[in-house]
Structure 1
């Protein structure tokens, strides 16, 4: 698609965002780049890539042209500035959190959570020194009351899994902004078709693409999307 692809409707972006047909083969479908590594033009090109001074492919664990289309497409659908694919939704969530939190840090989270996230917050993160306070999203003021000087993230799910509790975006995004804390939202159950959390004050959005984005129960994956609206 063109550089102005975000001017197109949602369903068009679902099909085409992030990909322009190969000028040599004119393939309409995105090819699968089944490679682990990539050729460098010269040693200077390789050095610049590894120093992150130049954009390009280094190693498929870091970046792959096929995955890049997915990342661009989901960023376009969410209204974010960029995205990072992962091997699962839980993996995406973990990467995002561990980028922002370390031993001695604190998270305030909605208590209406996917079971795997609940276990991670209650059992896994405390083992590495990250404390999580769970609050009832039906009482938005509780998020503010739970904030500590070392709070690094306010976390919630657009629609709680599995009870579909709707996250109180208006109140909690105001609290997050007032304390200069990023608001991270798992929007798996809503998908960007129903709700785009950046429009409601979120700063980071994650998805398990295994669920409704894939929609067929045969593929596992995840994604992190950056809203470009927080001063990191």
Structure 2
């Protein structure tokens, strides 16, 4: 055997420990071939009850689509606006250590919560409806874009910043003319990706009462209207596909 493909004793031990842990996890979580086989059968019956899709509740469907798009767009715009100062605050080459730690802590807190968990918290705080969904996705946007924006700022060339500081430029002048021109293309890429992500997440937060088409989906499940569930799922897939196409087209146009 080629020496490049030989496993060391430590690597073999790590592999054996990993396999043992996987086997123990499967056994302790009651994952078995019997349960999987039963699940396939029940899933097939469930899918059979979803056809043909129901098309008689288009008003409810379009209301859910409208709310989903509004939630995604508003959350993206507000989240991006908040991500700019948070990213600047968290960048080590722009902020002193106490402010940088505060910015990084805020980003970590936003990233720690899944959008669905955030939506549950905001539903408790502001009540059911799209506002809770918008706030939940704003938190997710700040956590994701704020971190990437701060990392991008830390990777820029320091020469323009040093030159502007040497001329006595203010902090805002350094940011506007020394920092943003270097990171603007990457920030636009972050923004388009986050819009696509918020389109997907906006369908999930509705399941916990935060508005959007997810609410209609959950209500249809509760009413056992599986034909309408199929219609909603097809619509969600269509929204995500169209959003992906639009975002990719926007990226290509900006690259040109």
TM-score, normalising length: structure 1: 0.23
Q: Which has the higher strand share?
A: 1
Question: Greater relative contact order (Cα 8 A, min sep 6): structure 1 or 2?
Answer: 2
Higher helix share: 2
- Higher-Rg structure is 2
**TM-score, normalised by the number of residues in structure 2:** 0.22
